[in-house]
Amino acid sequence: MSNFDLSGKTVLITGIAKGIGRQTALELSALGAQVVGTDIDVKGAEETQALLREQSGKSLVFAQDVTQAADWKRVIESIAKECGRLDVLINNAGIILNKPFVMTSFEDYQRVQRINVDSVWLGCQAALPLLTESAKTSKGSSIVNLSSVYGQVAGPMHAAYCASKGAVRMLTKAMAVEFARMKTGIRVNSVHPGPTNTDLGRSGLTDAVKIGLIPSYEAGLEMVLRQFPMGRMGEVDDISSVIAFLASDASKFMTGTELIIDGGFTVI
Ligand SMILES: NC(=O)c1ccc[n+]([C@@H]2O[C@H](COP(=O)([O-])OP(=O)(O)OC[C@H]3O[C@@H](n4cnc5c(N)ncnc54)[C@H](O)[C@@H]3O)[C@@H](O)[C@H]2O)c1
């Protein structure tokens, strides 16, 4: 069996109602994984489940607010009961805030940290025992955390978001070292997408139009695309296939690594 094959693996993905989370659920399911998806947007999550069923993947969907420890406990207990194991945790759910620092309230800032960072902390703590147990009967378990190029380089109007994604990047590395030294059998890596064609990825431009910073979405997009050596934004499958690699045994000697998926955006 190829190390890229995900057959026999149970994968938990947060934020599957749309965007990168939905595409990741579909791709990992196509590669053979049993997908468990969660989202605060139940209707969107059920739509994703219908798409998973169309491609005949085994899937379970739960409502979950990733900022709530009780929700994490319930989801992990359900996975233990229904699937008996958990091999991969993908902390994908997240939000962006496109606001200048001076206009960002402390409450705005805290909300971004709760959804983007506290969720990763809570999820990893809740899943650790089951991931450790499952690693004993496989080539190892894997956690993939969604950071961003804004966890590496700064962008105007994104102080709260940059702070959150920088924290995800370093939390990933700190857990990677501890989990390896503790012989848990769990690898922890982060992915760093550049601007990607989702509601979240497009919102920087739509919000800039709203406050009059740019005349139109199209004008803003043209400006942004000039910063991409490859001349286009990311698409969701550009990101999901890298997540699939980190979820699989093909990356079994990688931990604490950050994979940038940005068409060269941060190189220049
Ligand atoms: N799109 C981009 O340009 C881009 C770039 C870099 C990183 N990312 C990161 O990738 C991840 C996915 O982004 P996306 O572009 O697919 O966004 P999206 O807005 O399309 O989807 C995000 C999903 O997260 C869910 N979510 C939000 N808050 C939640 C909560 N409290 N509990 C549970 N679910 C919640 C939403 O309902 C939604 O389904 C995010 O962590 C984001 O920061 C995206």
247-260: pLDDT as tens digits: 999 999 999 999 99
Residue nearest to atom 41 of ligand 1 (CA): 94
Ligand 1 centroid to residue 164 C-alpha, Å = 13
Catalytic residue among 109, 150, 161, 217: 161
Catalytic residue at 150?
no
pLDDT band for position 115 (50/70/90)? very high
Pocket test for ligand 1, best of 16, 20, 157 (most atoms within 8 A of CB): 20
Ligand 1 binding site (Cβ under 6 Å of any ligand atom): 14-15, 17-21, 39-41, 44, 64-67, 92-96, 115, 146, 148, 193, 195-196, 198-201
Ligand 1 centroid to residue 43 C-alpha, Å = 16
**What pLDDT is recorded for position 220?**
93
Could you tell me which of 156, 15, 170 has the C-alpha nearest to residue 23?
15
Write down all domains in the chain, each with its CATH number in brackets: 10-261 (3.40.50.720)
**What pLDDT is recorded for position 15?**
99
> How many C-beta neighbours within 10 Å does residue 94 have?
26
- The reply to whether the predicted model has a pTM over 0.95 is yes
Burial class (CB in 10 A: 0-12, 13-18, 19+), 113: middle
Three-class SS state of 137 = coil
pLDDT band for position 89 (50/70/90)? very high
**CA–CA separation, 97 vs 158, rounded Å?**
6
Ligand 1 centroid to residue 199 C-alpha, Å = 9
Q: Which H/E stretch holds residue 42? A: helix 42-54
